[in-house]
Structure 1
């Protein structure tokens, strides 16, 4: 099945799964289906009232280059304003005081995502991501992605590209650890898939995520459940790139498709 490849990297990411506007704004440890479809929908210029079921045919496979570190940030909302301009209550009034929230982020995380689906959908989505109507963000508008963001707008077997060709961000910051990793023939990397890879016969961890968008409407957001499979694969150590050379290798990989 044809597809495209996205690289989700940046100082901060936040992929809310359970919380709406509550005291704690959580993040899932990986890009959610809702967040990815929302990003694609925004790139196509679709309003929140549009039915996200149009994207039901898309499948996502996430390669976890670097899981990141959980960061909690302290926020206040609505402080210093007249009561009618403070945060709203469930009953339709206003709290009249600042609301304290703690927002969770993934710091320094890197994910590469294979998006597969019907050819016409992938072509249209690839075009939109190359010239998005609304700029993409990593779960929240304040979380801006690094470049290159769109690695390939079209590829025949994106899952195979993740395993054999896309440069791999080092999970280590020290040169000694990186040297030790590249001294081996392979490196262990985690994947999250919406279907169990055919080559996996044991060792998969089954997860349930409440992140299938049913509606993005501001007054009626709802999500369903999906099953995920977390597996670990041995990838060629040659895919690992030192920080100083990673950007160049990613650009070279992205440009191969235009040659």
Structure 2
């Protein structure tokens, strides 16, 4: 088994698990169906190609909350394309300025293909909704022979540079992951985001078991949390000089 790790960061993200037309909510962390859909899109797999989607849905999934972000609400209006009648006002919820480390565990050859697809995606990737593009390359690394738990515990903290400057570093990060083989499901939660079918005519999702684990804040070998580059550092320096 191997593990493919992703960094999911952008101005807005939205990961719905139970939404109706007039109220589109978001979970506090990426859903498995959303990340599997992202990987399938990058690989050019059609929604109704269940033969190619099944191996992706079978991957073991986990996510680490590195920067929780802020939940925001947007109101949207729409008109019928034919009659031009007004449609009901809808609410859309998003996570602003959030950063997550998502990881999938499975066959090394499959994950290698997915890593390559993320580098040259067949379709533009998005973070839950088409209006939510990522700000940086998605792929962090492919870890051959690794376990999901170990990767999520050891990938350096991926919070944005501005966030780390303004907030005190937490002692622990929250990991939400599927249980491993032979692992007890006691104190676990269930989410209905296990993809069964992405077909637009009859999307289906099953329940999956999720464990919440705190992990110590991981740091890089040089003692840093992640890349300290911040494109706004130059502007901050100019502001200090002008004061």
TM-score, length basis structure 1: 0.76
Q: Quote how far apart the aligned CAs of 1:171 are.
A: 9.8
- Residues 106-145 of structure 1 aligned to structure 2 (within 5 Å): 106-145=95-134
Once the two structures are superposed, residues 125-179 of structure 1 have per-residue CA deviations (whole angstroms, 9 ceiling, x without a partner) of 112111110111100011011213211145442643432342431698474643x
- Residues 78-157 of structure 1 aligned to structure 2 (within 5 Å): 78=79, 82-83=82-83, 86=84, 96-157=85-146
Alignment match, 2:30: 31
Q: Quote how far apart the aligned CAs of 1:239 are.
A: 4.9
Alignment match, 1:240: 225
Alignment match, 1:251: none
In structure 2, relative to structure 1, the CA distance for the partners of 1:43 and 1:170 (3 Å cut) is closer
Alignment match, 2:6: 6
Answer yes or no: is the 8 Å Cα contact 2:67–2:99 preserved in 1: yes
Once the two structures are superposed, residues 187-211 of structure 1 have per-residue CA deviations (whole angstroms, 9 ceiling, x without a partner) of 211000101699x99xx85221111
CA distance in 2, matches of 1:246, 1:113: 22
Gaps of 5+ in 2: 232-243
Answer yes or no: is the 8 Å Cα contact 2:194–2:205 preserved in 1: yes
SS of 2:195's partner is: strand
Answer yes or no: is the 8 Å Cα contact 2:8–2:138 preserved in 1: yes
Alignment match, 1:209: 191
CA distance in 1, matches of 2:63, 2:181: 12
In structure 2, relative to structure 1, the CA distance for the partners of 1:19 and 1:59 (3 Å cut) is same
Structure 1 vs Structure 2 CA RMSD = 2.9
Alignment match, 2:171: 187
Answer yes or no: is the 8 Å Cα contact 1:65–1:170 preserved in 2: no
SS of 1:98's partner is: coil
Number of aligned positions between the proteins: 225
Q: Quote how far apart the aligned CAs of 1:120 are.
A: 1.9
In structure 2, relative to structure 1, the CA distance for the partners of 1:122 and 1:133 (3 Å cut) is same
CA distance in 1, matches of 2:86, 2:218: 55
Alignment match, 1:69: 70
SS of 2:131's partner is: coil
In structure 2, relative to structure 1, the CA distance for the partners of 1:246 and 1:57 (3 Å cut) is farther
Gaps of 5+ in 1: 87-95, 248-259
Once the two structures are superposed, residues 53-102 of structure 1 have per-residue CA deviations (whole angstroms, 9 ceiling, x without a partner) of 232431112111011111110100117x651xx5xxxxxxxxx3232101
